[in-house]
Chains A and B, each alone.
Chain A
Amino acid sequence: MAEPMVKLEGIHKRFGELEVLRGVDVEVGRGEVVCVLGPSGSGKSTLLRCVNLLEPPERGEIFVEGHDICKGPGSAAGEAGWELDFVRQRVGIVFQQFNLFPHKTALENVTMAQEKVLGRSAEEARAKGTMLLERVGLGDKLGQYPERLSGGQQQRVAIARALAMDPRVMLFDEVTSALDPELVKEVLDTMRELAEEGMTMMVVTHEIGFAREVADQVVFMDGGVIVELGPPAQVLDAPREERTRRFLGLVLDR
């Protein structure tokens, strides 16, 4: 396989006494979709947030396009040792709680960082923002403020906002968990289209159906380590590990 888009090696992270990640290795190939499953508290969200250094790991290496973004052992170097600009211009993230800017319209949410960070002109950012919002099915909501939008619509604006920065990798952190059930599909459909277009994606989710259908690899985590990793047919339908089986039993039983 060619050089992986994202490579995590021996990632450790603790919050005070609690060791959330205890040596995690993952590779995500170019254009691959990796779904990360696991019970709450398994460290899957923390792992995702390590990739764009929202939670810098204590130990371990993170490579994005072969570039070490977390130089030196540990985060002792602080922000000086992190390639923040490099990683944030290549890795987009979508959050569980959307985190749209409430004082800005849908379009402004999508154009702001294009102008401030990438230095695009207002017209350029507007054109790109309009195009992306149309693509996620919100071409008629450009001027709406987030509080006027449904959860599903807000989450699609958040996806468009991340895509506007032309990321090479997209991270999705339980993006449907805060949504009413009937709004989940529209967000998953948007993500499915993105995957079909060849976007590299890391998806933390509880949507087993989505993982089975879209993922190239499924990672099952528990207790801060990877329990099982492989193609969905293997991990989801013929899990080798007892813990995986138990978790899937609980989730699929609902």
Chain B
Amino acid sequence: MQEIIDQFFDVGFMAEHFDEILEGFWVTIQLAFVSGVLALIWGLILALLRQLPGRPLVPVRFLTIAYIDVFRAIPLLLILVLIATGIPALTFLPESVRIPQWLGKPDPFWFGTLGLTVTYGAYMAEVYRAGIEAVPAGQMEAARSLGMNHGQAMRNVIVPQAVRKVFAPMLNEFIALMKDTTLVSVIALNEVLQVASDIQSETFISAGLTLGALMFLVVILPLARLVDKLIARTQGRYTRGSHIEVA
């Protein structure tokens, strides 16, 4: 029993390495935030491309669907390694792109951001799509009948309602993304997992990793509760309200 406590839950050890691990976790938070915001934007663009109307735009819709399927099917870890090994080897790219050091962040940070954005953009596009398709068809008809074109109807009528409907599932995607930032440790970003593993391999004590896990809990548990609350609230609103949902 004592051995287990010493290995995983040594509070003194955690206190000793707290600052280093927190610093790693701060990188995790930054990575999650930057790629989360970019994936939200990229996902919306994909979802909108997928909804473009008319026969001439079939190729656009096809390519969008293909992108979404492909990036949902390839493991994120593989994509991260592919990006981090491949891009620096492309000699025709300028150095600032091959080894990006933007905003004082090291290149693995930006490769991680790219990998998370292209992958989670595909996931989030599917969430947006569910929201867009949940808006009653009569909304689009009403908007178009008032003379709005497809883009205006999307921007002013459909997307604002879709976003409200998918707020909770989108937050779930963000939680998943935040946890998946630990994968970026394999391309040598000093985020929380990397820092804690380094400590473990020097000391053979895993309590630093436990501390990293605790930091995730502190941030994610309240978010998970928030998701639950939001779901309860929207459900209440749509079943209680006098608003009629039209198929």
Provide a sorted-by-A list of 18 A–B residue pairs whose CB atoms are within 8 angstroms: A78-B54, A79-B54, A88-B144, A95-B142, A97-B246, A99-B141, A99-B142, A112-B156, A113-B143, A113-B146, A117-B148, A117-B152, A118-B147, A146-B243, A147-B241, A147-B243, A162-B145, A162-B146
Interface status of B138 (Cβ within 8 A of chain A): yes
List 11 other contacts, CB 8 Å, given A79-B54, A100-B142, A103-B161.
Answer: A78-B54, A79-B53, A88-B146, A95-B138, A97-B246, A102-B161, A112-B146, A113-B146, A113-B148, A162-B145, A165-B147
Residues of B within 8 A of A (CB): 53-56, 136, 138-139, 141-148, 152, 156-157, 160-161, 164, 241-244, 246
- Residues of A near B139 (CB, < 8 A) are 99, 101
Contact call A89/B141, Cβ cutoff below 8 A: no
In the docked arrangement, what's the CA distance between A102 and B144, Å?
Answer: 16
B-contact 0/1 string along A144-169, CB 8 Å cutoff? 00111111000000100110010000
In the docked arrangement, what's the CA distance between A98 and B164, Å?
Answer: 21
Cross-chain contact of B147 among A95, A117, A149, A150 (Cβ < 8 A): A117
Residues of A within 8 A of B (CB): 52, 54, 78-79, 85, 88-89, 92-93, 95, 97-103, 112-113, 116-118, 146-151, 158, 161-162, 165, 178
Cross-chain contact of A101 among B142, B164, B246 (Cβ < 8 A): B142
- Residues of A near B144 (CB, < 8 A) are 54, 88
In the docked arrangement, what's the CA distance between A37 and B117, Å?
Answer: 55
Contact call A147/B242, Cβ cutoff below 8 A: yes
Query: Per DSSP, are chain B's interface residues mostly helix, strand or loop, or mixed?
Result: helix
Contact call A88/B55, Cβ cutoff below 8 A: no
Cβ distance A247 to chain B, nearest Cβ, rounded Å: 27
User: Closest chain B residue to A97 by CB distance?
Assistant: B246
In the docked arrangement, what's the CA distance between A158 and B146, Å?
Answer: 11
Contact call B243/A103, Cβ cutoff below 8 A: no
Contact call B142/A116, Cβ cutoff below 8 A: no
In the docked arrangement, what's the CA distance between A70 and B85, Å?
Answer: 56
- Residues of B near A147 (CB, < 8 A) are 241-243
Contact call B157/A88, Cβ cutoff below 8 A: no
Contact call B141/A54, Cβ cutoff below 8 A: yes
Cβ distance A239 to chain B, nearest Cβ, rounded Å: 33
In the docked arrangement, what's the CA distance between A212 and B142, Å?
Answer: 29
Contact call B146/A103, Cβ cutoff below 8 A: no
In the docked arrangement, what's the CA distance between A112 and B152, Å?
Answer: 10
- Residues of A near B164 (CB, < 8 A) are 103
- Residues of B near A101 (CB, < 8 A) are 139, 142-143, 157, 161
Contact call A103/B160, Cβ cutoff below 8 A: yes
Cβ distance B133 to chain A, nearest Cβ, rounded Å: 16
Contact call A89/B138, Cβ cutoff below 8 A: no
Cross-chain contact of B145 among A79, A93, A98, A150 (Cβ < 8 A): A93
User: Closest chain A residue to B164 by CB distance?
Assistant: A103
In the docked arrangement, what's the CA distance between A144 and B222, Å?
Answer: 33
In the docked arrangement, what's the CA distance between A151 and B241, Å?
Answer: 12
User: Closest chain B residue to A164 by CB distance?
Assistant: B146
In the docked arrangement, what's the CA distance between A101 and B146, Å?
Answer: 12
User: Closest chain B residue to A49 by CB distance?
Assistant: B141
In the docked arrangement, what's the CA distance between A240 and B241, Å?
Answer: 47
- Residues of A near B141 (CB, < 8 A) are 54, 95, 99
In the docked arrangement, what's the CA distance between A85 and B144, Å?
Answer: 10
Most-contacted residue by chain A among B54, B139, B243 (CB, 10 A): B243
